[in-house]
A and B are shown apart, each in its own frame.
Chain A
Amino acid sequence: MHTSLYLKEIFNFERSLFRADRLDFFVALILFATVGYAFVNGQSWIDKQQQAVHAAQMEESVRLQELKDKLAGIDAGSLKPAKAYENPANAYWVGNRHAATYAVLPPTAFAATAIGQSDLNPPYIKVSSDNKESFALNEEIENPGNLLIGNFDLAFVVVFLLPLLIIALSYNLLSAEHEQGTLAITMTNPVPLWVLIAGKLSFRVVLVFSLTASMTVIGLLVIGTDLSTMDSLVRLGWWIVLLFAYIQFWFALAAAVNALAKSSAQNALILTGLWIVILLVLPSFISIAVNVAYPVPSRVAMVGLIRAAQTDANKESDATVARFEQEHPEMTAMPLAKGDDTAAIRKRVFVQQAAASRITQIMARYDRQLAQQQRIVDSLRFLSPAIVMQEALNAVAGTDNSRYQQLSLQVDAFHRVWQDFFLPKVLDNTPLTLADYQNFPRFAYAEQAISETGMRLLGALLGLVVPIAVLYLFSLRRIRDYPVTA
């Protein structure tokens, strides 16, 4: 009899055993309840964020329409020009405040599967011609209780709960056969022990994987995910591959522990201990190690430095204005009408620009430290397959750090475009027209090429495949000496 036929027979027999004890039903029930709740929770989070985005966009739309109506009224002579601050033609106040626009990060089709970093990073950033700190520090304030507990999303079910289910199904994979005495009768037949384990594992892997994968697809369809696009299909493909690898890792771990020939109770204790280490201790250890190696400077201190830079720039404002006037005589030569606050506005812009370079340096220093931390985390994450998996699922969902960094870079670039649109008009005192309003720069997030995400996911996959291979090889070596009888 070929090995494949033995595998098939053992696989089918395991299915009979599960059916007889209705274990397959209970596994399906547990997965249905947890995956279902995770989708409800994940989608409600996305809905909440999208409602906030929609409200912001509506507010911006109404605000711009009011400005345009006001400007049209002034142009038609039905309205008198208001004070500079309220004047819809004033490029400084419009660019800096009234027309400030929202740069929105659209959720991916898989956003509901992993809330990831989206509870710390807002889905939109309000950009104006003011300095970067006016929007870069505007982060979401989430309920600290939620941050502590974490979110019950699909990634949580896969990363945290699925291993528990796998441990429950496989802690006594071989030890139960040994303890109940069936191993002795099985091993009088021409079946290698590794084939017996492989057959038993195969059924469990197929059961857990097929149920989780199919429930995920059903869940995605129920929440209205369009799975017909290439982007969605690629994300789904990665999600399925990662799920399979992660499930394999935990079964491989269970096989390795079973190969140690301990009792079922000892196996359960060892596997539970490993669950705690991999999912709780290692992430915590990595966090502490990174913070010790690269402590992030206090945000409060950074805000203090930024304010000090602004104060310094204010103090030096007269010298700054004088220098600018010397460098740009063509702009300052224009006569100012009575009551015109152009000079004051120009002074604000000069101060703002003088502060900008200092603030950029302060923020860059902070970002460099964060980047160093991230690099260390990227390397140390391979210590725990759970971290690898969590980050990979965040990447598939588009809620990982990398996507928010990408947003930050794109918003930086857009901020410069916005400033380039308004500030020249401020400095040469050009009033805004209705045509200018039509040409205000608009932000559109450019999604990262899937190949870039793919490389990161490939790294994650490797981070799972290597320990799987090591664990299975270890199991194969150890079961050679496995005691068939007590």
Chain B
Amino acid sequence: MLQATELTKAYNGVIALNKLNLTVNSGEIFCLLGANGAGKTTTINLFLNFVTPTGGRALVNGIDVSEEPLEVKRHIAYIPETVMLYPSLSGLENLKYFTTLALGHKRPEHELLELLGQAGLAKEAAFKRVSGYSKGMRQKVGIAIAMAKNAKALLLDEPTSGLDPQAANEFSKLLDRLKAEGVAILMATHDLFLAKQVGTRVGIMQRGILVSTMTTDDLGHADLERIYLDIADDCMDAGGRAMQGAIAERKEDK
């Protein structure tokens, strides 16, 4: 469903993504792990056609993203790290608008309310202005927007950021359900435990290169620790010494 072939992106001569080869099949959740700047978000942006590839191809359902971006967008849904909505309107009104743009027709209000409920937003909150929402509440509306589209592929960029533990848990269940329904999911995340919990496969990215891919079934606790350290190393190279310190502290505590 999602396929990257030699996909490359450079910004002003700096390589952000280097010859990525990746396939995410229907009913699969592929989790991209890596430090900030590793190329996770660039990968997602390339599938969304938000940026143009310097080389290679990104395909969704066999369609080249660069050649037919509008057709591709009929098949994909997206939840960013921080869902931003129109603050002067309610969550329901935002959902109505984006759903109509996605589907080309309006969905009944009761269906939209049900979707918001499934995403974890209380019914009374659905009618309130988004300006009064927390980040987590906005994220839930974002999840509902993505679900409303009934897309074949879902692109997630740190989707649980800002969600409380209960909502994050419900989100995990939702991903399981979508996976069972045959949706191909590509998720960029720092949350290793979420990746282990819901992912079918995990890919590690470092400086724009997909350095490792493994199935979560084969992923033991030791591997998880190694992934942590890989990411921490990458962070340190990028100036992320603080994170390594925190991990080292945690290891000492153990």
Contact = CB atoms under 8 A, between A and B. Distances in A.
Contacts of A9: 97, 100-101
A483 B87 CA distance: 22
A182 B80 contact: no
A185 B93 contact: no
B88 A190 contact: no
Given A190-B71, A485-B50, A185 B142 contact: yes
B78 A188 contact: yes
Q: Contact residue range for chain B?
A: 20 to 34
B98 A189 contact: yes
Nearest to A5: B104
Contacts of B73: 187-190
A189 B76 CA distance: 8
Interface in B30-56: 45, 48, 50-51
Nearest to A196: B101
A171 to B, nearest CB: 18
B97 to A, nearest CB: 5
Interface stretch (A14-22, A79-87, A348-356): A14-22
A184 B50 contact: yes
Given A21-B88, A484-B50, A6 B101 contact: yes
A322 interface: no
Interface string A446-486: 00000000000000000000000000000000000001110
A186 interface: yes
Interface string A8-52: 011001001100110000000000000000000000000000000
A192 interface: yes
Interface in A136-164: none
Interface string A189-209: 111100000000000000000
B214 interface: no
B127 interface: no
B59 interface: no
Nearest to B106: A9
A180 B83 CA distance: 10
A1 interface: yes
B82 interface: yes
Contacts of A13: 97
B74 interface: yes
Contacts of B210: none
Contacts of B102: 188-190
Contacts of B104: 1, 5, 190
A182 B82 CA distance: 10
Interface in B92-116: 93, 97-98, 100-105
A485 B86 CA distance: 16
Contact of B77 (A180, A187, A188, A484): A188
A20 B86 CA distance: 10
Contacts of A188: 48, 73, 76-78, 102
A73 interface: no
A186 B88 contact: no
A186 B98 contact: yes
A185 B50 contact: no
B89 interface: yes
A191 B74 CA distance: 10
A189 to B, nearest CB: 4
A187 B48 contact: yes
A17 B82 contact: no
A184 B89 contact: no
Given A185-B142, A188-B78, A189-B73, A180 B93 contact: no
A295 interface: no
Given A9-B100, A190-B70, A190-B74, A185 B105 contact: no
A88 B36 CA distance: 103
A36 to B, nearest CB: 29
Contacts of B98: 185-186, 189
B185 to A, nearest CB: 15
Contacts of B88: 17, 20-21
Contacts of B83: 181, 185
B101 A186 contact: yes
Contacts of B105: 1
Nearest to B77: A188
A20 B145 contact: no
Closest 3 CB pairs of A and B: A181-B84, A1-B104, A20-B88
25 contacts: A1-B105, A9-B100, A20-B129, A181-B84, A182-B84, A182-B86, A184-B50, A184-B78, A184-B80, A184-B84, A185-B85, A185-B98, A185-B142, A186-B98, A187-B73, A188-B73, A188-B77, A188-B78, A189-B101, A189-B102, A190-B70, A192-B70, A485-B45, A485-B50, A485-B51
Interface of A: 1, 5-6, 9-10, 13, 16-17, 20-21, 180-182, 184-192, 483-485
Interface of B: 45, 48, 50-51, 70-71, 73-74, 76-78, 80, 82-89, 93, 97-98, 100-105, 129, 142, 145
Given A17-B88, A485-B51, 16 more contacts: A16-B89, A17-B86, A17-B89, A20-B89, A181-B82, A181-B83, A181-B84, A182-B86, A184-B50, A185-B84, A185-B145, A187-B50, A189-B98, A190-B70, A190-B104, A485-B50
